[in-house]
């Protein structure tokens, strides 16, 4: 395990720092991130679930999970630590066990904890060690973070926490009901039965919501064979390259030499969402970046990413980020001070 980035964000309420630290984005296939909030008022959004932020709240996000931070009161700015870490292919047996534990936690959605606020000083130690020019101290940061992760997520099986309701010592699992932006008509079963045929990889609507359901897949990130991983990585690369277009799932599967059903199954297992969900969020990630880094109109941006009209784009954007494109631009717009 390697710590690839570490930051301390102090009293953030808006401006250019928010446009970077709080933006709607996701990380790579092997990357996890933790955020530990010290103070402030706002919300942490992961995929389509929105959680309130308060002092002592800790969030874990996994590979390719789209997330953002939204301050909600200028008078109560947010302060937090964030650590991005990744597992390599040559991970030790201990790191493999930790990765499997985190995958299980992500699947069970026990990813939000309340930690003793005094833990902030240990986070500060971790921050300083992870940024040290001394390799030995950076190694100690890796081991320290690993011990924290085992302490928070490894001591009790998530199923045991849910069934017994017993909190970890000094760490309470936040029993948040899963909240989504989709209506009851948009519900999708974990079997993915409505994904049969030739659905289009495009922004979802109430009529084709099966491609954007919020089911996390059939199990806790049971990693498939190397060949299946290669297929998924190729599919992700194609989606990234053609993010401005509309893709058919059957065409994408055909390019990979797979049946549509098998492609959807292995994609869900590796990415924890359907191809349609991922492609939609990939479009919204690009659109959100364009909203805060350019003066292009919302209509131009929606057309750039292949949406039929601005209304459809705005509806999908709100489902993904919890805000309209205009609200997002006003919240995260980069502020340049020329004084």
Q: Are residues 244 and 140 in the same domain?
A: no
Cβ distance 70 to 45 under 8 Å?
Answer: yes
List, for residues 179-229, the tens digit of each pLDDT value: 222 222 332 322 333 333 333 443 333 333 333 333 333 344 444 577 888
Nearest 5°: the CA angle 168, 57, 40 is 155
Helix ranges restricted to H, the chain: 16-21, 93-108, 120-130, 135-153, 158-164, 226-241, 249-256, 260-271, 275-293, 298-304, 310-321, 325-332
Q: Are residues 194 and 288 in the same domain?
A: yes
Mean pLDDT (the chain, rounded)? 75
Higher pLDDT, 336 or 279: 279
pLDDT band for 297, please (50, 70, 90 cuts).
very high
Beta bridge partners, 8, equal: 81
List, for residues 42-101, the tens digit of each pLDDT value: 889 888 788 999 889 999 999 989 898 887 765 678 888 999 999 987 668 888 899 999
CA distances from 28 to 142, 193, 317 (A): 19, 28, 22
Tokens representing residue 171 in the block: 């760490």
Q: Would the pTM count as exceeding 0.85?
A: no
Q: Are residues 14 and 117 in the same domain?
A: yes
Terminal-to-terminal C-alpha distance of the chain: 43
pLDDT higher than 50, residue 291: yes
Helix ranges restricted to H, 165-274: 226-241, 249-256, 260-271
List, for residues 250-282, the tens digit of each pLDDT value: 889 999 999 999 999 999 888 878 999 889 988
- Residue 262: predicted pLDDT: 93
Domain that holds residue 109: 2-173
The total number of structural domains in the chain stands at: 2
Q: Are residues 199 and 249 in the same domain?
A: yes
Q: Are residues 6 and 145 in the same domain?
A: yes
- Residue 20: predicted pLDDT: 53
Q: Are residues 189 and 326 in the same domain?
A: yes
Q: How many CA atoms lie within 13 A of 134 on its CB side?
A: 6
pLDDT higher than 90, residue 144: yes
- Residue 143: predicted pLDDT: 94
Which of 115, 138, 173 terminates a domain? The answer is 173
Cβ distance 195 to 273 under 8 Å?
Answer: no
Give SS3 for 196.
coil
pLDDT band for 165, please (50, 70, 90 cuts).
very low
pLDDT higher than 70, residue 33: yes
pLDDT band for 157, please (50, 70, 90 cuts).
low
pLDDT higher than 50, residue 41: yes
pLDDT higher than 80, residue 334: no
Q: Are residues 298 and 339 in the same domain?
A: yes
């Amino acid at each position: 395990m390697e710590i690839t980035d570490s930051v301390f964000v102090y009293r953030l309420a808006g401006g250019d720092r928010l446009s970077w630290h709080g933006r709607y984005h996701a990380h790579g296939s092997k990357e996890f991130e933790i955020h530990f909030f010290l103070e402030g008022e706002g919300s942490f959004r992961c995929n389509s679930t929105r959680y309130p932020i308060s002092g002592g709240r800790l969030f874990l996000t996994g590979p390719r999970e789209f997330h953002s931070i939204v301050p909600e009161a200028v008078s109560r700015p947010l302060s937090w630590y964030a650590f991005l870490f990744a597992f390599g292919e040559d991970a030790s047996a201990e790191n493999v066990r930790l990765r499997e534990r985190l995958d299980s936690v992500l699947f069970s959605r026990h990813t939000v904890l309340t930690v003793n606020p005094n833990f902030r000083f240990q986070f500060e130690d971790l921050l300083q060690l992870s940024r040290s020019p001394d390799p030995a101290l950076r190694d100690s940061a890796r081991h320290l973070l690993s011990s924290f992760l085992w302490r928070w997520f490894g001591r009790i099986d998530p199923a045991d926490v849910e069934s017994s309701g017993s909190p970890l010592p000094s760490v309470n699992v936040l029993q948040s009901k899963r909240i989504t932006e989709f209506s009851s008509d948009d519900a999708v079963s974990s079997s993915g039965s409505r994904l049969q045929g030739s659905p289009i990889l495009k922004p979802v609507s109430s009529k084709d919501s099966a491609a954007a359901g919020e089911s996390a897949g059939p199990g806790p990130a049971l990693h498939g064979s190397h060949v299946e991983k290669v297929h998924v990585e190729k599919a992700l690369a194609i989606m990234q390259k053609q993010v401005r277009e509309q893709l058919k799932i059957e065409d994408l599967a055909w390019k990979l030499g797979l049946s549509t059903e098998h492609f959807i199954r292995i994609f869900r297992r590796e990415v924890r969402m359907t191809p349609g969900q991922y492609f939609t969020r990939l479009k919204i990630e690009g659109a959100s970046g364009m909203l805060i880094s350019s003066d292009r109109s919302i209509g131009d941006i929606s057309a750039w990413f292949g949406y039929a009209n601005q209304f459809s784009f705005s509806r999908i954007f709100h489902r993904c980020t919890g805000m309209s494109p205009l609200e997002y631009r006003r919240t995260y717009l980069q502020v340049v001070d020329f004084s």
